[in-house]
Structure 1
C-alpha cells in the first residue's frame, strides 16, 4: 500500500487489494489519540528491568574471548553495562541454534560470568534455516521438515531461498506447530548457552535472491495490477514469493505480519523457558508489535544526519505503541568520529532502548575505545541514565497500563503552544523531563525552546525560561531540564532490588507545587500489575512547601524501597527548619544567584 499527500488537505491511498478497515481516533489531544490507538492494537508489554540498561554489541567480535575482553574492559573503567550481545559471528557457519566450536568455544563460560555479575546476554537469530546440511546433522531443519513448519512453494515443497548460511527454508510463523518447533529449538540451545533475550533480524522476511532459488510462478499474486514503490519493483524482490503457501493464507496476505508473528513465537518461548518477562528486539514490525517486542531503527550510518533523524524515529515508534525503541548508538556502518560518538552516547542515554552496535570491519566504538576524555563523557551520560531508572521504569508502567508514550514530542504535552509543533530536535521523557541534545559537530552552543512553565537545569539548578541558547564545553552532557517530581538511583547495573536508597527531586512550579509517582516491582516477574505484586506511590508538594506521599498499592517489594535524601528546586527563601514525619532533620540550602531560584536538600 502507498499513501500520497496531494496538494489539497487529503490523502490518496493506493493498495494491491484486500479489505480496508478505517479507525478514526478523535483525541481530543495527540496523547489521547495514541492511547485510543493502542486500546485497539494492544498496549505494550512491561519490559524486564534490564531492558532499560546499557546494551553493547557489534558484528565482528570474532570470538567469545574478544567479546569477553570488552565486557571486562567496561567493568574496569566502571562504565554501566547491563547486557552484552553477539551478532551472527557467534554461530557455526551462520546456522541458527549453534555456536562456533572453535572461535566461540568459551561462550557458555562468558554467559555464566555475565550472570555472576548481574549482567545478561542476548543472541541474534535469523528466521531462515539452513537446508543443505547432511541429513541427521542439523536438528532444526530435519525436525522442521518432519513437522512441516516451512513455507511451501507451488509444488507443496519447502520454498528455498538464500540467506547467511546459504540455501535456507523459511519457517511459517502463522502456524502454531511452528511456534512449538521454535520453542523446542530455543530450549535445546538454552541448555548449552543460557541466553536471556533474543534479537530477531532479517524477518521481513529478508532473502538474498528474489523469491526463491527457483524463481516464482507467473500469476496475479506475483504480478498484481498495482505494485507499490518497493525495492526492485516486484513484491518478491529480496524476499520470498508472494504466492508461497502459509498455514493461514498465502504470503501475499501475510507478508507484513511475518516479523510480528515471529516476535509472538519468540516471546512465548522465552516465557516458557525463563518464567520471566521476555526480552525480544525485532527489525520488522507491525501494529501490536509492542505486545511482544521492542524495535531498533535498523542499519544506520555513523553520520551527524543519522544522529539527528534518530529522534524522529524514536518518537514515531512511541506513537505506534512500541515504546522500547532505539537507534544504533554511534552508527552501525562507517567509523564514527570521537566527537560524534560522544554526542550520540549522550543522546542515546535518553533513548528508551539504549544499544551501541557497529558493523564488521570497522574499528570498535564502545566507550573504552576512545580517549580518556571521551570515555569519561560517555560514562557520565550512562550514569545519568542509570540514575533516572526509577523514573523511566515508571514511564514504562504507564505505557503498559494506559498506552502512554515514554519518549514524546513537546506538542504532546503542550498542544496549545503552536511553537512546539515543528520541534524535532528536542523531546520529552514523560511530562517532566526535557532533553535537548547536541546534534552538530564543532559547535559551542545549543539552541532550543522551553514551553510555558518553570524548567530547571538538572545539574546547576538554574531556572530557564523562554528560548534556550546555552554554551558548553566539549565534554558537557546534553542539556536536560525538569519539572515535577522524579527519582534518582545511580548504579552500574540495574538490579532493582539491591536495597540502594533513592534520591527524590522536586522541581516546583510557579505556585510552589509539584507532583510525581513511582511504580516498583521485582523487575522481572510476569504480570506483576495484573496479579497485584507491585508498589505504587503518588507524591505531591503543596504550595506551603509540604510534601506528602500516598501509597496507593503495596506489596513485599516495598521493603526494598527507601529514600535517604530529597532536593527541592525553586524554594524562594531559606526555611528555619525542615521536618520529616514530625522530626526535625538536617538540610542544606543553596542560592545559585543566577535566576533567583534556589535548592533545598534534605538529608
Structure 2
C-alpha cells in the first residue's frame, strides 16, 4: 500500500502541528531559553531536537549554528561524560529534498529526489535516485543513492513483488519523507520527516522517530543489551581497543532490533561500510550519520523477534555449521613460553580428566612474531604436540595477524617478498606499499579485496600446514590494527584522511591505531573498505582451510561485519579479569546472536590482569554456556586454566564443563537450526516471551534455544542469585525436584528454599541458592533435550549413549529434536548425509496413556548409529505403576515427578514409540 502525503499534513518535521505546539509551550518552563530564539524554534520540544551541529571538536556558538540556518537554544550542561540536549537543532522549515517523481516498477517503484537549496556540507548532491522494492511480505528495501561506492555483499535477488505485505508505505513529497506502518496495528515504524535528509559526498544523514525505547543491536560496543536513548551516540568504525564503554570496538554492525509497545518486533539494517555513528535520543528517535556510500536500508517486519533475526539473515546469509569439536572447551594463553609448557598444560588437563577439545597458541609460537614461522628453539616440539593432540581426539588452533613483516633478520621472508612481487599489499597514494607497525615491527598489510591475495594466503598456509597440521585459525588484529596512526610517514593531506565530518571515533581520527583511510586497495580506497577488512580476511582464510583440510573450517575473528557468521565465529576481545567484564560478556554474546554470528564467547576468567579463584570459578560456570567457550589470558599473569586452582575450584570447573559436554547433542542441534534457518543459539529471554515486558531489559540471564535457562552469579561473595523466571514450570536441570514455595517471601522477589529446585512461576523474580560449586540451570516445560554421557572430548562423548530429558508441560506434551552427522564434513545437510529425529510426547485422549515418539529422517550416507541406549528421563507428572512399551524397558520411578526409563537399546534412525498408562 502506498499513499502520498501533502506537506501541509506535517508539522515540525512530521509531528502533528498541534502536538508539537503543546509540547513546545511546555518546554518554555525548562532549560535556558535564549530571548532571541525565534518562535518556530520554541515549538520544538527538547526530546525532538535533532542535532544540526554534531561536530565534537567545535564549541557550538549561536553564530556558528545560525550560519547553518538552524535554531540555537543553550541547554543545561549534561553530566560528566554524557551527551545532552543539542544546543543547535533543525527548525521545522529547514530545507530538504523534494520527491519530484515516482513511477511503478516490477518490484516496487523508482523516484527522483531533488534538493533546490544547498546544504552546509561541501559537495552536496542535488539529485538522488529513490528505489523501493517490496521484496517479501515481511521485508522492505529502500535505497537512496547516486553513482558511488556500494558494499559488495552477496544479497539474494528477488524476482517477484510481495503480494500481501504486512506493512504500508507512505511518502511525504515536500519535504521528502518515508512513513512506514504495520498494517495490523497501525504502529508507525519509521517516520523520516522528523529531520531533513542530507546527502553530501562525505556526509549522509537521515533521522527517524521510533515507536518505543526498546532498541538493541548496533555493534560492536560494550554496553547494556538494551541501549539507552538518553542522547546516546554509537560509533561504527573497526578499532583495536580493549572493550571499554562508549567507544567503537572491533566490528561494525549497522543493524538494530526494536520491540514495539504491543510486543511486536521489527529490525532495520543499513548496508553501508563507511565510518558511521548512530544517535539515539529520547523522542524516541534515531539518526544515522555516515561519511560515504549510500543509504541502503532493509526493514524486517517480523513480527516476532525470532522472525526478525531470521529475516535479517535471509539477506546477509545464514551462519556456517561449525565442526562439533568447536563446541568443546578451548584453552589458550599468551605466555606459555614454549611448546613443552603448552604440552604440560594439556597433560595436566588430561590428568585431572577435565574436558578439553582444543589447545591454542598465541603469537609466542612464531619466530619474531612473523606469520607462518616457528620459533625453532622454544617451539621445536610443536609438531609433536599437535600429533599428540590428534591421537587423543583433540585439536590445535594457532593465531595469525594480517600484518606481514617488511623486514627480516635472515635476509629474506617469503610472505613479504612474494606479496611485494605480486603487488598484494595496501598502497599509499604514491603507489608504494603502506608500512605500519605491529608485533613483528614494520609491517605491510595484505589487500584481501584482491583475489590474487587469497591465492598467496593459501600458499602460505599450505606451507606452514605441511610442518604443523593445525585444525583451525584464530585471526586477530584485523581491523586492521596498527601501532602507528596511519603509517610510518603519517597520512597525506586530503579529505579521505581528514574528511569534512569525522564521526565520534576513538582517537578523533579515522587513522587512529589503523592505516590511512586514503590507502589504495584493489576494489576501492580503504576509506570505503576499512570496516570490511576483517570479513575479507576471513573469507580468504575459510576458503584456504577448506582447500587444505577438506573439512568444515574453524575460524575465530576479532573484526567482523554483516555476513561474518557465514565464515567464522567471534570472541569479544581483550577483556579484563573483573566482575563487570564477566557481566558485559552476556550483552556481548546476545548482541552477536542478533548479528547472525552464533559462535561467540568472551575470554573465560578474563584476558588481562590476574583473576581470583572465585571469579574464575563463577566465570567458568558462565563460560561453559557461551556458544564458543575458551579460557584465555595474557602473559606475565597468574595461570588460570582449571588445573591452576584448588581442588574445590577445579572440581567445580570440571563439573560444569562436563555438564556442557553432556548437552552437546542439544547444542549441536541448535547450531544446525541456526545454519538452516537463522535461529539464535544463545537467546535473550524476550525472544521466547515477547509479551512479557519484564523480560525486555534482562541481560544477566539468557536461554539456550527455547529450552534451557542460564542464571549465573555475577557478583563476588554471594551464595545466592536473583533471576527472573518467566511464566510456567521450570525444572531444575540437576535434581529435578518440585517444591512448595515459601508463603512468607515478600514481593517482588521470593526465594527458592533449596538448591536445585524446580519452580512453577507466574513470571517473577526469584532468589535461588547458588553456592560456589553451583550454576542454576532450568529446563522449560514442554521441552525434550537430547543429551549424552559426557567424556573429556567431543570425540569420546559422541561415542557414548544418548539420553533424553523430557520435561512435560501442564497438558502433558513436549517436543524436541536432534540433528546428527559426522561432525566435520562439509555440507552434510545440503548433501543429505545426516540423521534428524523429532521427539514429541502427546496425550492419547483426555487422560493417560501418554505416548513418547521419535520420528526419524536418515538421509543416504547419514549417521545410522544414533542410539538411545541408556535411558529417557520424564519429568512433570505422577506416573502410574505400569508401563507399556514395544521394547519392554525397565521402569524406575524416582519420585512422583520423575520417571526413568532404562535400557532402551534402540537405534533412533528407525524411529520409536513408548507408551504408558
Determine the structure 2 residue equivalent to 1:474.
Answer: 772
**C-alpha distance in 1, partners of 2:516/2:819?**
47
Question: Equivalent residue of 1:529, what SS?
Answer: helix
Aligned 1:19-30 pairs, distance under 5 A: 19-30=294-305
Determine the structure 2 residue equivalent to 1:195.
Answer: 470
**C-alpha distance in 2, partners of 1:75/1:205?**
37
The structure showing larger relative contact order (alpha-carbon pairs under 8 Å, at least 6 residues apart) is 1
Does 1:465 pair with 2:765? no
Determine the structure 1 residue equivalent to 2:352.
Answer: 77
Does 1:553 pair with 2:871? no
Shift of 1:364: 0.4
- Quick one: structure 1 residues 220 and 562, their matched pair in 2 at CA, closer, same or farther if it must change by over 3 Å? same
Q: Alignment RMSD, CA only? A: 1.4
Shift of 1:135: 8.0
Contact in 2 for aligned 1:496/1:523 (Cα 8 Å): no
Determine the structure 2 residue equivalent to 1:33.
Answer: 308
Determine the structure 2 residue equivalent to 1:529.
Answer: 829
Question: Equivalent residue of 1:23, what SS?
Answer: strand
Does 1:234 pair with 2:509? yes
Contact in 2 for aligned 1:150/1:169 (Cα 8 Å): yes
Determine the structure 1 residue equivalent to 2:883.
Answer: 578
Determine the structure 2 residue equivalent to 1:563.
Answer: 868
Question: Equivalent residue of 2:507, what SS?
Answer: helix
Match 2:815 to one of 492, 515, 518: 515
Contact in 1 for aligned 2:415/2:460 (Cα 8 Å): yes
**C-alpha distance in 2, partners of 1:516/1:479?**
18
Deviation string, structure 1 residues 308-346 (Cα, Å, up to 9, x no partner): 111110010010000000000000011111011000000
Match 1:423 to one of 681, 698, 704: 698
Does 1:590 pair with 2:894? yes
* Number of equivalenced pairs: 598
Contact in 2 for aligned 1:136/1:142 (Cα 8 Å): no
- Quick one: structure 1 residues 364 and 272, their matched pair in 2 at CA, closer, same or farther if it must change by over 3 Å? same
**C-alpha distance in 1, partners of 2:863/2:881?**
32
Shift of 1:480: 3.4
Does 1:485 pair with 2:784? yes
Does 1:124 pair with 2:399? yes
Contact in 2 for aligned 1:332/1:359 (Cα 8 Å): yes
Shift of 1:278: 0.2
Contact in 1 for aligned 2:879/2:897 (Cα 8 Å): no
Contact in 1 for aligned 2:784/2:839 (Cα 8 Å): yes
Aligned 1:435-446 pairs, distance under 5 A: 435-446=710-721
Match 2:609 to one of 316, 334, 341: 334
**C-alpha distance in 1, partners of 2:821/2:707?**
22
State which drifts further: 433-442 or 172-181.
433-442
Shift of 1:451: 1.4
Aligned 1:97-176 pairs, distance under 5 A: 97-133=372-408, 137-176=412-451
TM-score, normalised on structure 1? 0.97
Deviation string, structure 1 residues 465-511 (Cα, Å, up to 9, x no partner): 22321223221234333430011111111127953210111000010
Shift of 1:229: 1.4
**C-alpha distance in 2, partners of 1:338/1:465?**
34
State which drifts further: 372-381 or 458-467.
458-467
Contact in 1 for aligned 2:730/2:778 (Cα 8 Å): no
**C-alpha distance in 2, partners of 1:203/1:513?**
49
Q: Which runs of 4+ in 1 moved over 6 A?
A: none
Unaligned runs of 5+ in 2: 1-275, 738-757, 844-848, 904-917
**C-alpha distance in 2, partners of 1:572/1:487?**
20
**C-alpha distance in 1, partners of 2:833/2:674?**
18
Shift of 1:131: 0.3
Contact in 2 for aligned 1:59/1:360 (Cα 8 Å): yes
Shift of 1:590: 1.5
Determine the structure 1 residue equivalent to 2:500.
Answer: 225
Contact in 2 for aligned 1:210/1:239 (Cα 8 Å): yes
Does 1:215 pair with 2:513? no
**C-alpha distance in 2, partners of 1:583/1:41?**
47
Does 1:499 pair with 2:804? no
Shift of 1:566: 3.2
Contact in 1 for aligned 2:808/2:877 (Cα 8 Å): no
Does 1:268 pair with 2:268? no
Contact in 1 for aligned 2:891/2:899 (Cα 8 Å): no
- Quick one: structure 1 residues 492 and 223, their matched pair in 2 at CA, closer, same or farther if it must change by over 3 Å? same
Contact in 2 for aligned 1:571/1:600 (Cα 8 Å): no
Question: Equivalent residue of 1:558, what SS?
Answer: coil
Determine the structure 1 residue equivalent to 2:639.
Answer: 364
**C-alpha distance in 2, partners of 1:454/1:479?**
13
Q: Which structure carries more strand by proportion?
A: 2
**C-alpha distance in 1, partners of 2:375/2:778?**
44
Question: Equivalent residue of 1:546, what SS?
Answer: strand
Determine the structure 1 residue equivalent to 2:560.
Answer: 285
Contact in 2 for aligned 1:499/1:561 (Cα 8 Å): no
Determine the structure 2 residue equivalent to 1:248.
Answer: 523
Shift of 1:386: 0.3
TM-score, normalised on structure 2? 0.64
**C-alpha distance in 2, partners of 1:531/1:572?**
41
Match 2:319 to one of 18, 40, 44: 44
**C-alpha distance in 1, partners of 2:448/2:863?**
41
Q: Which structure carries more helix by proportion?
A: 1
**C-alpha distance in 1, partners of 2:544/2:877?**
56
Contact in 1 for aligned 2:328/2:794 (Cα 8 Å): yes
Question: Equivalent residue of 1:260, what SS?
Answer: helix
Match 1:61 to one of 336, 350, 357: 336
